[in-house]
């Protein structure tokens, strides 16, 4: 299956990690012989191990090393092309909340906030955007081939197997699905309503708070500090919100207080920092704007 360049690099890194781990286990207990010189055969085999993708025309394998040449010929990388964005048609939820307080938003939309386990202890957030288990999240949350999803406001114990629908690494957004899941409420994505500078928004997600653990389905309130600019003159890849978020909030929704719709997907968090290069005094969230998700993820609603 064709993959994008960033996803290919991630796959190669994971494969290299697995090889390193297995080699480490296999060589445990072996005696090491320290030598000052290597034979020509040993040097060439070492060259193949260090540069496996040069090809046999660049690395001449001596007799006795045919196994290495055969291994090189068996390496097949996927076609390096950006995948076509599929069309995903969504339905408008039967009810939604607009103009609510933080307490009302947390109560109404809490069951729609997903807790995503991406492997190796990584945790992220997501927004349920369809009755049948479609979840909007950030691409970097999906760091593992094995994805598990929970809806803590519904059940803290139950986990579901998540399946990747589409990943857009270039813009750090993704869609996953929980097969067989059925919901009575879900988020609507504002695919045609632009979030304005100064607009009040809520963030919902699962931020990690150092030694305190993970704040499940937490809600915070802020404003859109900088709206998304399609011309890119501001050199920002997304919209910026002045709102309290933290690691673990990635993939969670920014919700317009005015409309109750998702206007952004949290993709990065900037915490208070002081260094020789820059300083920030509060938390900021960078989010993928909802108006671009039709192009980036192919999500659409009926006209």
More confident residue, 238 or 152: 152
Return the pLDDT at 33. 66
**Amino acid 159: pLDDT:** 93
For the chain, domains (ranges, CATH) are 5-74 (no CATH), 88-300 (2.40.10.120)
Confidence of residue 1 (pLDDT cuts 50, 70, 90): very low
**Higher pLDDT residue, 248 or 7?**
248
pLDDT per residue as tens digits for the range 59-110 = 554 444 565 566 666 666 666 566 789 999 999 999 888 888 999 999 999 9
pLDDT above 90 for 25:
no
CB 234 within 8 A of CB 142: no
Q: At residue 277, does pLDDT exceed 50? A: yes
Cβ proximity of 204 and 109 under 8 Å: yes
The count of other CB atoms within 10 Å of the CB of residue 273 is: 10
Report pLDDT for 212.
72
**pLDDT at residue 3 in the model:** 47
Residue 222 to residue 209: CA distance in whole angstroms? 19
DSSP the chain: --B-HHHHHHHHHHHHHHHHHHHHHHHTTPPP---S---HHHHHHHHHHH-TTS-TTTSPPPTT-HHHHHHHHH--PPPB-PPPPPPEE----S----S--HHHHHHHHGGGEEEEEEETTEEEEEEE-STT-EEEE-GGG--SSSEEEE-TTT-SS--EEEEEEEEEGGGTEEEEE-TT---S--PPB-SS-PPPTT-EEEEEE--B-GGG-B-TTEEEEEEEEE---TT-TT--SSEEEES---TT-TTPEEEETTT-SEEEEEEEEE--EE-SS-EESS-EEEEEEGGGHHHHH-EE---
Q: How far apart are CA 227 and CA 241, in angstroms?
A: 8
pLDDT at position 147, please? Answer: 92
Per residue, the 3-state secondary structure of 56-104, as one string, reads CCCCCCCCCCHHHHHHHHHCCCCCECCCCCCCEECCCCCCCCCCCCHHH
Residues 134/88, Cβ–Cβ less than 8 Å:
yes
- Structure pTM? 0.73
Instruction: Identify the pLDDT of residue 268.
Output: 87
Percent residues over pLDDT 70 in the chain: 69
Give the model's pLDDT for residue 112. 96
pLDDT higher than 70, residue 182? yes
Q: Is residue 280's pLDDT more than 60?
A: no
Lowest mean pLDDT across 4-18, 145-159, 252-266:
4-18
């Amino acid at each position: 299956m064709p993959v994008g360049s960033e996803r290919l690099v991630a796959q190669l890194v994971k494969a290299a990690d697995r090889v390193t781990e297995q080699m480490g286990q296999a060589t445990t207990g072996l005696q090491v012989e320290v030598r000052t010189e290597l034979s020509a055969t040993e040097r060439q085999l070492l060259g193949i191990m260090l540069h496996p993708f040069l090809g046999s025309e660049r690395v001449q394998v001596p007799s006795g090393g045919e196994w290495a040449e055969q291994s090189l010929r068996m390496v097949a990388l996927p076609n390096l092309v950006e995948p076509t964005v599929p069309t995903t048609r969504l339905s408008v939820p039967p009810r939604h909340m607009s103009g609510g307080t933080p307490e009302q938003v947390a109560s109404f939309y809490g069951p729609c906030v997903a807790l995503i386990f991406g492997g190796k202890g990584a945790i992220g957030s997501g927004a349920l955007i369809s009755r049948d288990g479609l979840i909007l999240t950030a691409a970097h949350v999906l760091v593992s081939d094995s994805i598990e999803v929970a809806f803590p406001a519904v059940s803290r114990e139950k986990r579901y197997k998540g399946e990747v629908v589409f990943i857009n690494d270039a813009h750090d957004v993704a869609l996953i699905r929980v097969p067989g899941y059925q919901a009575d409420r879900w988020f609507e994505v504002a695919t045609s309503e632009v979030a304005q500078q100064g607009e009040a928004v809520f963030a919902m997600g699962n931020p990690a708070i150092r030694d305190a653990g993970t704040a499940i389905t937490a809600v915070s309130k802020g404003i859109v500090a900088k709206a998304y600019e399609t011309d890119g003159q501001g050199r920002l890849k997304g919209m910026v919100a002045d709102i309290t978020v933290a690691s673990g909030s990635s993939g969670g929704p920014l919700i317009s207080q005015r409309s109750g719709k998702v206007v952004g997907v949290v993709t990065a968090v900037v915490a208070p920092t002081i260094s020789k290069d820059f300083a920030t005094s509060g938390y900021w969230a960078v989010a993928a704007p909802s108006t671009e998700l039709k192009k980036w993820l192919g999500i659409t609603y009926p006209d």
